[in-house]
Structure 1
């Protein structure tokens, strides 16, 4: 290795350093110098997280080789423009406009905007958007709108038209802060680049830390392993150990995650989610070894020296292939279809006849794709033994205690010996629910008895991590002559990839959201899930609902057209009203649907009029359209849901809150703070946000508040916080009604820290799991309701669709923090637009980075977005709140598809709606030919009616 001495003028000071000119990038040098505000996401120049200013130009530092940069070039990083004590107006504005969510991409956006405002002090919103498009700044959390807001506010401050105080929300101590734009406690650290994410933690670990890289062959998705040869890798420089399945088994590890089921109709299976493979490859992202060395580079070199011989097996890369009669069992002894759930409502046996004899009926087959999460930060894990001997895993966990149990299972350890800590997390949107990489890093620490940092590059991450489960659906829907829905029917097949866990739960969710929130008096359905050789299906915002809406909301639009009704009026006629039940034969907990549609109606009429006027006045090369779709979700995990938090009185009279509200970017810190503030101010009105310290997401320090999933966190944490505040203040209260100080409690021997332990079952006795014979039940303690409107323009020459505007009306109960709520809404909408138009992880060899997998850029997401929060009172929720997140990524992608159909008469049945598909439909329509985007009825493994009859004859109990 030949090294080079170099000098750069970094943040105004000359910095001399030694580097490897052939390997080092500007990003790697900056980070080694301690300037870790420069983040590396994709590592291939796609995402812009690493953006810095080099000689007055925005550059993506992760791909800028250091040898190509001249000595004394000027570099400005996020640390050079401001700090938490004296932030730059951009940093300040990003905090106060809620442009910071997970915060991983924020330094790159801020540095990009920093150069923009040096060149243009008064940009328009569209010029800001054009700048970020040009410089490839990608955000996955915000939907971009708030980022543009932040730039515009900072520009006004820099021009002297506003002050920092002008953009800060102002409150008085006596003001109720609930629902106000309370800024996130960690936002300023993220805006200034001083928040340490996973790779920053790894870079700053002690010198003796070992480095691990996964050996992932990525040559096949299904094969028998003949031999794994580690001999050359073991002799490589700096290698400590090449860990194989045999090694971890010798060390007492089980080498598999927990096996668990949600449905009595799930076929029994053993621990099939093996972490290190030694017998069979069942998915492209499988791991066959872990290379552990003294440096990351040496671990990477060693990983490449591991060889695998294999015998190719048939690759079943989707559900339709895996369920063919001659398909082999991917997990021997276990049928590929491993769970089926029926739905029978009303005159279920007569549904086919009702549909066939109805005045109007429609049918179709629909596919919702394998959507990749595409968080800007990939996966990164660190493991070590702490001062108490606990094997500690720092990672992106979104369910600390569940992951602790999963890691313990994989390692063959008692759960009391495992500690899980969530690092500041650059988004996950659900993939972080799976503990595979966490357990792999923990195995390396256990076997070497040394601290280990696991490094996973973005191509490995996208292969290793789970994806939204694709689904194929056949559906029919019918109405009478007046447009009232009579009956619906559906047959669904979900592709769950290589592993079983959570698949049975997701198909139950599909039963709950088909035709939501309409009144369908008679329904017959079957939901199935199968193993394939593709990426495993994990949690993703919406969790089973988007798949159901892909079919349901398309059929609603098709039936409205068939009946000759406006799609808005058809929906208005058929939404459930009080006294009418949902698809699972129980009442909705609330009925805000009519009021929500009343709010949407003027926006719909205006958008429709604009589209019609545009189409009439132009040459037809571009046509505009409007699409509607209902969405929504349920809140919580049902009767089994529970949450615990703790509040402690400190010697200074202030408070510390302990919980595991894992912040994946959604604002777990802000949510916890607002609940704690609201609960304590019932007793101490003078308490301010500054009086509350948060300790979060550490199983050693915090009680189990549950998973950051199921849109439950705000609800469950709030409930537990109310109890904790009451328990603490009851202990502090004297007989005269005043409160003891910390010193007085200590003198009397009274504890100063109290838990609040909440369970759903202790509050309500009407929470019933979906039963396995007819799909009846209601396991949810709250609902989310969302109504969407998309405005699109379709280029009739190329088929490219642009979403120009988006409207959303929601009912999520009383708003807790409007900034967090807006962030979830805008972010969910942006993911759904990507889901509708571009996102896909189908080709494992091609879709290896976020750009190839279709991540939407800022110009793919409209700046014209309107949110209307109904802000009602949820009778069950804390302070009248419900939950929110998953409602904003439910049916909204279908609003885009419906708008495409309205614009050009082409209905896309299989996601995503790429320009090629739309163009093919336009050309066929012009020739009077059938739409090529309409698939034949899917074969989902057996005859629909025969399967339902067989299930009917074999009833099960929960």
Structure 2
């Protein structure tokens, strides 16, 4: 190691630094100075998270070696652009235009935009987009268009055409902020770089040991031995931890509660004991004084293993002669049916039109920009405290206590500010790694995965294979649906019981289908663990059913929108599961879309060329609100001595705006008290002080936390109310012996029923959201490359609570949908281990023309008429793109993603006049035989 003293002018002041010019990157140096507003994501120069301005030019500081920087160079970081009390116009614009969701990318974007406006104070939108493309600024949350909006607005301020006061959000005259674009409270810290995310917190724990994990490099093997002796001798190493050091049963105790499951859910070890089931299994953990020392030592851990056949595709594990991967349960371990109406064989035989197809949805990676990061320690009271990303803080306690060997009542989990999750952080696996390490060493620990490690260890959207047959009468009314869908759950059973249910509820939604049979299955493989991802379980269904809708419309010679229009739910119609809805907005949604659709068709016909085909596609979607039968949430509201109110909850924020949701619900529920927004304090996401609000999943949080807030507010105001109708002060409450803190409860008991395991009939969730997506694409015939030109969503998510939060979820969901359609995948373990390899959609891959409009049907059971929103927006936008490709050039892509080479191959086959034959997947059984068997052998619960 070498050392060099340098002087850098950082944010206007000369700073002396000492660095290793060969190994230190500029990001390392500025972060060591405490300027942790500069975040580090991919550490490969692919995401622009770490952008700083070096001598007037934007650089990605995570790959900018110090030896390439001249002494005396000028460096501007986010901290030098503005402060919380003196914002730069870009920072304010980011706040008011919804540029902040998770906020992890915000400093890098703002720094990059500052460099642009320093050079060009009057850019066009396309110039802004080109700047971000050139400088590789990536965002996973927003869909990019709000970021461009923010730059354009800030430029107006800098040109003197707009004042900061004009730009800022203004509370309406009536004081009501519910339904407006009230900025999220956390945005200020995120745009100024003063928000500490997990890795920042770890850096600021000087007493903490740094952890590095040892991965197997194989996907299926028998572990024969581990030799840690050489690693233990490495500099700075405190301990090398293996399964023998785990004090509990070394299992993630997450039960698989589906009554049909042949697996109990307790199959995932924290540290490998004797079997490796996928490449993300952790064999050992190295704890050392520094991150560099831990990583160096991890390379010295030696292990021997006996390689076993790797089953990376469930088509292999569903074969009748396939080897059983896990000795404790069969490869297909849940098979759940839906059965409705008459015998579909008879109905289909008598139907005028029938189409069928087989479809594959890929293993979609979440591609967050912040790799997973966790901290853990035992405090002076003996409380094991874990800092992490999480969609369900208390789940970490429930599932980890037996596995790590620590009392659940002595565990505390705190959510760090989170650089997005989109679902993967429901898993308690990395918190388990941190907890085991702190208990084994007796010291605080911190770990931040490399991006490659993050890709291997964290869960992904479950791939799926589906076969389906759709029938309709001569008038185009759907008569029957038959289908089977098999989800690749990967190496372990995490959330399989919830996932399999989605395959029963969203295939064929949102259409009236009187007769149906279906099978939904979860299947093991040696690939990445499958876990929650926005839209959990539904996009796989729509990959199948929304393509079938287009195929049927073509067969009968009907417009795809009109075919959908005559078949969507109308008042009183039932779903495939026999449930009715509180609202039926689909005809209104399609009516609102129709003029845009007609304009898009005319535009495609007008602007298409033989070399560049244009096409239009639509896809309907539906998703549930609340997570299952008898959902439950609690919050606290407390009146404080100064007249303010504090709201306590564990509404976990992954970037969706839990802070804004909490604030606006509380403000609206307490309107009679006349509180200003700044008189409402938020105490969130710490299990030691806040009650169980439940998972940030199932689009449930706005609905459940909102209803619980109303319940608590009613109790508090009733207690405060005097006989004359005025309200007691805090001092008057205390003097009268009246409590000042109340627990609000929301519960869906009575609104929901579980699905019948014998026929899939029931209604597990309280409300639903509905929508349709319209995509315009251009296909380059010579290469097969597809470009999405625009996407529009018409949605009904109930009354809008916070406009910029809901819009942000819509635009971000559509961006993820475009990625799912065209590029994103985690299949090849060598190619797909980073952002670019995994198909990340950068700004050039996402159209500036993304938009959402709403039909508003107040939900009778929802808080202030609201429902949830996030997951609808990622239900089916990908299928709108796939349908648009077919509309453009006449080739249908049955297996996602529709990469250019796949489209090109299909176009070449079409040009040769070849018929593209559809393969039908073997999914472990013949559908009718299995359904007949289920009917003859109904499940009967044990008495």
TM-score greater than 0.5 by the shorter chain: yes
C-alpha separation in 1, matches of 2:257 and 2:611: 51
Within-5 A mapping of 1:631-646: 631-646=621-636
C-alpha separation in 1, matches of 2:503 and 2:582: 19
C-alpha separation in 2, matches of 1:481 and 1:193: 62
Q: CA deviation at 1:278?
A: 2.2
User: After the TM superposition, which parts of structure 1 deviate over 4 Å for at least 4 consecutive aligned residues?
Assistant: none
The equivalent of 2:142 in structure 1 is: 142
The equivalent of 2:392 in structure 1 is: 399
C-alpha separation in 2, matches of 1:357 and 1:922: 35
Matched, 1:746 2:743: no
Q: What is the DSSP-based 3-state SS (H/G/I as helix, E as strand, rest coil) of the residue aligned with 2:569?
A: coil
The equivalent of 1:854 in structure 2 is: 839
Match of 1:939 among 915, 918, 922: 922
Q: 1:383-436: CA deviations, max 9, x gaps?
A: 012243210000111111112212213212221110000000000000000010
C-alpha separation in 1, matches of 2:818 and 2:366: 13
Q: What is the DSSP-based 3-state SS (H/G/I as helix, E as strand, rest coil) of the residue aligned with 2:234?
A: coil
The equivalent of 2:230 in structure 1 is: 232
Match of 2:525 among 522, 532, 539: 532
Q: 1:515-539: CA deviations, max 9, x gaps?
A: 1111111111111111100001100
Q: CA deviation at 1:930?
A: 1.9
Within-5 A mapping of 1:257-296: 257-269=252-264, 271-296=266-291
Q: CA deviation at 1:735?
A: 3.3
Q: CA deviation at 1:756?
A: 0.7
Q: CA deviation at 1:774?
A: 1.0
The equivalent of 1:327 in structure 2 is: 322
The equivalent of 2:679 in structure 1 is: 691
Within-5 A mapping of 1:542-581: 542-581=535-574
The equivalent of 1:211 in structure 2 is: 210
Q: 1:899-947: CA deviations, max 9, x gaps?
A: 000000010000000000111111111110123xx54100111222222
Q: 1:622-677: CA deviations, max 9, x gaps?
A: 01000010012010023321111111111111111100111100000000000000
Q: 1:255-277: CA deviations, max 9, x gaps?
A: 11113123211114362110100
Q: 1:856-915: CA deviations, max 9, x gaps?
A: 011111111221111221111000001101000001110000000000001000000000
The equivalent of 1:894 in structure 2 is: 879
C-alpha separation in 1, matches of 2:723 and 2:511: 55
C-alpha separation in 1, matches of 2:325 and 2:7: 56
Match of 1:464 among 450, 457, 462: 457
The equivalent of 1:660 in structure 2 is: 650
The equivalent of 2:51 in structure 1 is: 51
CA contact (8 A) 1:84 1:189 kept: yes
The equivalent of 1:952 in structure 2 is: 935
The equivalent of 2:81 in structure 1 is: 81
C-alpha separation in 2, matches of 1:184 and 1:259: 33
Using structure 1 for the length normalisation, give the TM-score: 0.97
C-alpha separation in 1, matches of 2:659 and 2:448: 27
The equivalent of 1:836 in structure 2 is: 821
Using structure 2 for the length normalisation, give the TM-score: 0.99
CA contact (8 A) 1:772 1:957 kept: no
Q: What is the DSSP-based 3-state SS (H/G/I as helix, E as strand, rest coil) of the residue aligned with 2:482?
A: strand
C-alpha separation in 2, matches of 1:480 and 1:774: 25
Match of 1:255 among 250, 266, 279: 250
Q: CA deviation at 1:294?
A: 1.2
Match of 2:295 among 300, 320, 334: 300
CA contact (8 A) 1:173 1:688 kept: no
Q: CA deviation at 1:957?
A: 4.8
CA contact (8 A) 1:474 1:490 kept: yes
Q: 1:188-227: CA deviations, max 9, x gaps?
A: 110010000000101111x221111111122x10001111
Q: 1:322-360: CA deviations, max 9, x gaps?
A: 11223222211310100001111111x2x1333244221
Q: Which runs of 5+ in 1 are unaligned?
A: none
- Tell me whether 101-110 or 166-175 shows the greater mean CA deviation: 166-175
The equivalent of 1:629 in structure 2 is: 619
The equivalent of 2:810 in structure 1 is: 825
C-alpha separation in 1, matches of 2:652 and 2:661: 11
Q: 1:42-61: CA deviations, max 9, x gaps?
A: 11111110011111111100
Q: Which runs of 5+ in 2 are unaligned?
A: none
Q: CA deviation at 1:746?
A: 2.6
Q: What is the DSSP-based 3-state SS (H/G/I as helix, E as strand, rest coil) of the residue aligned with 2:91?
A: helix
C-alpha separation in 2, matches of 1:759 and 1:519: 29
The equivalent of 2:690 in structure 1 is: 702
Within-5 A mapping of 1:770-781: 770-781=755-766
CA contact (8 A) 2:582 2:860 kept: no
Q: 1:206-253: CA deviations, max 9, x gaps?
A: x221111111122x10001111111100111111110000111xxx22
The equivalent of 2:179 in structure 1 is: 179
The equivalent of 2:788 in structure 1 is: 803
C-alpha separation in 2, matches of 1:358 and 1:730: 61
Q: What is the DSSP-based 3-state SS (H/G/I as helix, E as strand, rest coil) of the residue aligned with 2:629?
A: helix
The equivalent of 1:364 in structure 2 is: 357
- Tell me whether 635-644 or 549-558 shows the greater mean CA deviation: 635-644
Matched, 1:782 2:767: yes
The equivalent of 2:851 in structure 1 is: 866
Q: What is the DSSP-based 3-state SS (H/G/I as helix, E as strand, rest coil) of the residue aligned with 1:496?
A: strand
C-alpha separation in 2, matches of 1:444 and 1:388: 19
* CA shift in 2, pair 1:289/1:196, >3 Å: same
* CA shift in 2, pair 1:388/1:740, >3 Å: farther
The equivalent of 1:105 in structure 2 is: 105
Q: 1:113-134: CA deviations, max 9, x gaps?
A: 1111111111111111111111
C-alpha separation in 1, matches of 2:497 and 2:612: 44
C-alpha separation in 2, matches of 1:945 and 1:488: 12
- Tell me whether 669-678 or 636-645 shows the greater mean CA deviation: 636-645
C-alpha separation in 1, matches of 2:59 and 2:263: 53
CA contact (8 A) 1:483 1:570 kept: yes
Q: CA deviation at 1:597?
A: 0.7
The equivalent of 2:705 in structure 1 is: 717
CA contact (8 A) 2:177 2:664 kept: yes
CA contact (8 A) 1:257 1:406 kept: yes
